[in-house]
């Protein structure tokens, strides 16, 4: 599933012009080019490399990510695209659940596609597994465990309900994006819990 998502994004990126690569993504402070570079870095990440990088970043997860973008961003979009193509079939992973690779591909895929007006029909299993993991991953590692502990997330397009509290309902993809801090998905949600997500965005 991870390889399929990488291949789909590589195909979408192949058709972009330079201006589109410079478009701000949904990931605050990063352009489309930056997000693509981040995905190169995550694909190359190994267990040992992740730990070593985190130590060098003084255990600041966000600083580690920023350094990864600087390292993997090519001098041109074409160079970064080629790097992404070369790592697409890698199976390495950091010391994290394997589904973290799905979260990376789905959420960052939307970070790139939505500002460019592109769409993808993601496999439901990939989105559901991503949502489940994101809901139990601490915020310090890019997740939403503390936020979702106060809510009940109900997917309208899958047999999935997570947590207890005021309900926020919507498609699994919209819920995933919302708990990942992407405010663009909030308008797609309903229920009293949606306002809690909006305040956290």
Q: Of 173, 85, 65, whose CA–CA distance to 126 is shortest?
A: 173
Query: According to the model, what pLDDT value does residue 57 have?
Result: 66
Q: Are 107 and 128 found together in one domain?
A: no
167-173 long-range contacts (CB < 8 A, ≥24 apart) are 167/191, 167/192, 167/193, 168/192, 168/193, 168/194, 168/196, 168/197, 169/193, 169/194, 170/194, 172/124, 172/127, 172/128, 172/131, 173/106, 173/110, 173/122, 173/127
Q: Provide the 3-class DSSP secondary structure of residue 23.
A: coil
pTM above 0.95, yes or no: no
Question: Which tokens belong to 143?
Answer: 């997740």
Q: Are 57 and 155 found together in one domain?
A: no
Q: Are 21 and 92 found together in one domain?
A: yes
Q: Are 34 and 128 found together in one domain?
A: no
CB 161 within 8 A of CB 176: no
Query: According to the model, what pLDDT value does residue 160 have?
Result: 96
Question: Which tokens belong to 161?
Answer: 């309900």
Q: Are 35 and 104 found together in one domain?
A: yes
Q: Are 68 and 52 found together in one domain?
A: yes
Number of domains in the chain: 2
Residue whose entry in the numeric block shows the structure tokens 């972009």: 16
Boundary (domain end) residue, out of 116, 135, 153: 116
The Cα 151–Cα 167 span in angstroms is 6
Q: Are 188 and 144 found together in one domain?
A: yes
Query: According to the model, what pLDDT value does residue 44 have?
Result: 92
Q: Are 95 and 183 found together in one domain?
A: no
Q: Are 12 and 85 found together in one domain?
A: yes
Bridge partners of 162, per DSSP, are 153
Q: Are 12 and 98 found together in one domain?
A: yes
Bridge partners of 152, per DSSP, are 167
Ramachandran assignment for 181, one of left (phi > 0), alpha (psi -120 to 50 degrees), beta (any other): left
The Cα 128–Cα 186 span in angstroms is 18
Boundary (domain end) residue, out of 116, 140, 168: 116
Which structural domain range is residue 148 located in?
Answer: 124-199
Q: Are 112 and 136 found together in one domain?
A: no
Q: Are 3 and 83 found together in one domain?
A: yes
Boundary (domain end) residue, out of 84, 116, 148: 116
How would you write the pLDDT of the chain (201 residues) with one tens digit per residue? 999 999 999 999 999 999 999 999 999 999 999 999 999 999 998 777 766 776 676 767 678 777 888 899 999 999 999 999 999 999 998 888 999 999 999 999 999 999 999 999 999 999 999 999 999 999 988 899 999 999 999 999 999 999 999 999 999 999 999 999 999 999 999 999 999 899 887
């Amino acid at each position: 599933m991870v390889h399929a998502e990488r291949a789909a994004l590589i195909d979408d990126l192949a058709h972009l012009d330079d201006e589109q690569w410079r478009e701000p993504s949904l990931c605050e402070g990063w352009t489309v080019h930056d997000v693509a570079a981040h995905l190169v870095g995550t694909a190359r990440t190994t267990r040992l490399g992740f730990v070593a990088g985190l130590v060098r970043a003084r255990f600041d997860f966000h600083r580690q990510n920023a350094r990864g973008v600087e390292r993997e961003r090519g001098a041109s979009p074409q160079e970064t695209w080629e790097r992404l193509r070369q790592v697409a079939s890698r199976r390495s992973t950091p010391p994290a659940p394997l589904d973290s690779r799905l979260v990376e591909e789905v959420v960052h895929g939307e970070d790139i596609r939505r500002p460019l007006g592109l769409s993808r029909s993601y496999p439901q299993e990939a989105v559901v597994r991503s949502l489940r993991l994101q809901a139990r991953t601490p915020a310090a590692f890019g997740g939403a465990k503390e936020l979702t502990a106060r809510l009940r997330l109900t997917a309208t397009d899958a047999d999935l309900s997570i947590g207890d509290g005021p309900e926020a309902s919507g498609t699994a993809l919209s819920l995933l994006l919302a708990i990942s801090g992407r405010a663009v998905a909030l308008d797609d949600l309903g229920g009293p819990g949606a306002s809690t997500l909006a305040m956290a965005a």
